[in-house]
Structure 1
Amino acid sequence: MIIVQETFICKPGNASKLANLFKEIMTDRTELIHILTDLTGEFNKVIMLSQYESISAYEQSYKEYMQNSEEVKKMKEKMKGYHEMYYSGSREIYHVW
């Protein structure tokens, strides 16, 4: 099993907006575990945690996202402009023991 952690450092006032947007668009996604916002540490941080059976399952999910199905088109429409909410981001993938 793997955990994918995607971290976003948001512009001031946008962390809760981005977290709510992720929560809205990811509610039907079975791989989503949690959406987190900071209580301590670096300000304006949003973390999205997802879980997959394997790196292959993660790659398959990414391929499905790139196929631009109707579901993905709707998701992208809701996400329109989200890049303006954050300064930087990163993705880390962990193996669960």
Structure 2
Amino acid sequence: MIIVHDIFICKPGNASKLAKLFKEVMADNQEFVDVMTDMTGQYNKVIMVSRYDSLTAFDKSWEDMGKDPEKAKKMQEKMAGYTEMYLTGSREIYRVW
């Protein structure tokens, strides 16, 4: 099993807004697990957690997103302006033992 953390360092005042947006947009995504916000450490951090059976499944999920233009368009509309909420981001991929 693979766990993916998409990590965003938000502009001040935007972490809870971005977390809420991710939670709303990803509600029907089977791989989506949780959205987490910081309680200690670096401020304004939002982590979106997803789970896949393998790296192949992770890669396929990106391919599948592009196969349904209507779904992709709806997601783009919902996510409009989200890049203005954060300063930087990264992705961490873990293998679960």
TM-score range, shorter chain: over 0.9
Q: Counterparts of 2:69 and 2:30 in 1: how far apart (Å)?
A: 17
- 2:59 aligned residue: 59
Matches within 5 A, 1:16-95: 16-67=16-67, 69-95=69-95
Question: How many matched pairs?
Answer: 97
Q: Counterparts of 1:16 and 1:81 in 2: how far apart (Å)?
A: 15
Shift of residue 71, structure 1, vs aligned partner: 1.2
- What's the secondary structure of 1:27's corresponding residue? coil
Identity between Structure 1 and Structure 2 (%): 59
Q: Give the TM-score of the pair, scaled to structure 1.
A: 0.96
Computed over aligned residues only, the root mean square deviation of the Cα atoms, in angstroms, reads 0.9
The one-character-per-residue Cα deviations of 1:3-49 (angstroms, maximum 9, x if unpaired) are 01100000000000000000000000110111000111100000001
The one-character-per-residue Cα deviations of 1:36-95 (angstroms, maximum 9, x if unpaired) are 001111000000010000000000001122345211210111101100000000001111
- What's the secondary structure of 1:41's corresponding residue? coil
Q: Give the TM-score of the pair, scaled to structure 2.
A: 0.96
- What's the secondary structure of 2:12's corresponding residue? coil
- What's the secondary structure of 1:61's corresponding residue? helix
Q: Counterparts of 2:67 and 2:44 in 1: how far apart (Å)?
A: 32
